[in-house]
Amino acid sequence: MDGQSLIAAASAVGAGLAMIAGIGAGIGQGYAAGKGAEAVGKQPEAQGVITRTMLLGAAVAETTGIYGLVIALILLFANPLLG
Amino acid sequence: MDGQSLIAAASAVGAGLAMIAGIGAGIGQGYAAGKGAEAVGKQPEAQGVITRTMLLGAAVAETTGIYGLVIALILLFANPLLG
Amino acid sequence: MDGQSLIAAASAVGAGLAMIAGIGAGIGQGYAAGKGAEAVGKQPEAQGVITRTMLLGAAVAETTGIYGLVIALILLFANPLLG
C-alpha cells in the first residue's frame, strides 16, 4: 500500500465527517421554522415580515453547514494533500 | 491489499458518516411539525398560512441533510479519489 | 486479506453508520406527537386539522432517516464499490 492511497482513503472519511456539521443547521433552522409557524398563527397579518425574518436567520444558520460541504468538496475534488 | 481497495473501503465508511447529518433535519423538522400542530390547534382558521410557513422553514432545514446525501452519493457512485 | 473483503467489511460499518441519522427523526417526530396530543387535549373539536398538520410535518421529518436507509441498502445490496 502506498502513501497516496492512504491519504485518499483518509480524505474520504474526512469528507464524511465534515458533513456532520449539518446537524446544527438542521436543528436550528427547524426551531426557527417552528417559531415562525407559531408567530404566523398568532398574527397572520404579519406573515410577510415574520417569514422574512425567519428566512434571514435560517440563512445565517446555514453557513456552518456550507463550510462543512466546502471542506468535503475540497477533500474530494481539489485535495491539496494528494501529490 | 491494493490502494484502490483501501480508498473504496474508506469511501463506504465516509458515505455512512455523511448521512449522520440527517439527525439535525429530523429533530428540527419535528420541532416545526409540533409547533405547527400547536398553532393550528389555537387558530384553525389560519391553518393555510401556518402550514405554508412550517413547510417553508422545514425545506430550509432539509438542505444540510441533502448536502450529506450528495456527498455520500459522490463517494459511492462518482468517487474522484478512485483512480 | 484481499481488497474486496476489506471493502465489504467497511461497507457493513458504513451501512450501520448511515442509520444513526434515524436519531433525529425519532426525537423530532416524538416531539411533534407530544405537541399534537397536547393541542388535541386543549381543542378536541380541532382534532382533524391538528392531526393533519402533525402528520404532514412528521412526514417531512422522516425524509433524512429514509436517505440514511437508502444509502445503507445501496451499501448492502447494490454496492458500486465492490468490483
Which residues of chain A does C64 touch, with a Cβ-Cβ cutoff of 8 Å?
A: 26
Contact B43, B83 (CB under 8 A): no
Largest CA distance in chain C: 66
Tell me: pLDDT of A83 over 90.
no
**Residue C78 in grid coordinates:** 447494490
Tell me: pLDDT of B1 over 80.
no
**Residue C28 in grid coordinates:** 423530532
Q: Which of B38, B67, B75 to mutate to test the interface with A (most CBs of A within 10 A)?
A: B67
Domains delineated in chain B: 23-78 (1.20.20.10)
**Which residues, in sequence order, are CB contacts of C30 under 8 Å at separation 6+?**
B30
pLDDT at C41: 97
**Residue B14 in grid coordinates:** 465516509
How high is the mean pLDDT of chain C? Answer: 97
Which residues of chain C does A30 touch, with a Cβ-Cβ cutoff of 8 Å?
A: 28
Collect all residues from A whose CB is shorter than 8 A from any CB in C.
23, 26, 30
pLDDT at B76: 98
Instruction: Say yes or no for a CB contact (<8 Å) between A23 and C28.
Output: no
Q: What percent of chain B has pLDDT over 70?
A: 100
Dist CA C72 CA B50 (whole Å): 35
Neighbouring C-beta atoms of residue C69, cutoff 10 Å: 17
Question: Could you report the per-residue pLDDT of C7-43, keeping only the tens digit for each?
Answer: 999 999 999 999 999 999 999 999 999 999 999 999 9
Tell me: pLDDT of A1 over 80.
no
pLDDT at B83: 79
Cα of B27 to nearest chain A Cα, Å:
6
Instruction: Say yes or no for a CB contact (<8 Å) between C64 and A30.
Output: no
Q: Which of A38, A45, A73 to mutate to test the interface with B (most CBs of B within 10 A)?
A: A38
Dist CA A42 CA C40 (whole Å): 18
Dist CA C76 CA C18 (whole Å): 12
pLDDT band at C83 (very low <50, low <70, confident <90, very high): confident
Q: How far is CA A46 from the centre of its chain?
A: 29
Tell me: pLDDT of B30 over 80.
yes
Q: What is the ipTM of this complex?
A: 0.94
Please give the average per-residue pLDDT across B65-81, as a whole number: 98
Collect all residues from C whose CB is shorter than 8 A from any CB in A.
24, 28, 64
**Residue A34 in grid coordinates:** 417552528
Contact B35, C36 (CB under 8 A): no
pTM score: 0.95
Q: Can you give the three-state secondary structure of chain C, one letter per residue? A: CCHHHHHHHHHHHHHHHHHCCHHHHHHHHHHHHHHHHHHHHHCHHHHHHHHHHHHHHHHHHHHHHHHHHHHHHHHHHCCCCCC
Dist CA B1 CA B56 (whole Å): 49
Tell me: pLDDT of C1 over 80.
no
Instruction: Say yes or no for a CB contact (<8 Å) between B24 and C20.
Output: no
Instruction: Say yes or no for a CB contact (<8 Å) between B23 and C18.
Output: no
- Annotate A15-79 with DSSP letters as a single string: HHHHHTTHHHHHHHHHHHHHHHHHHHHH-GGGHHHHHHHHHHHHHHHHHHHHHHHHHHHHHHHS-
Instruction: Say yes or no for a CB contact (<8 Å) between A34 and B54.
Output: yes
**Residue B21 in grid coordinates:** 447529518
Single-letter code of the amino acid located at B8 = A
Question: Could you report the per-residue pLDDT of A48-66, keeping only the tens digit for each?
Answer: 999 999 999 999 999 999 9
Question: Could you report the per-residue pLDDT of A2-32, keeping only the tens digit for each?
Answer: 999 999 999 999 999 999 999 999 999 999 9
Cα of B25 to nearest chain C Cα, Å:
7
Which residues of chain C does A26 touch, with a Cβ-Cβ cutoff of 8 Å?
A: 24, 64
pLDDT at B26: 98
Tell me: pLDDT of B25 over 90.
yes
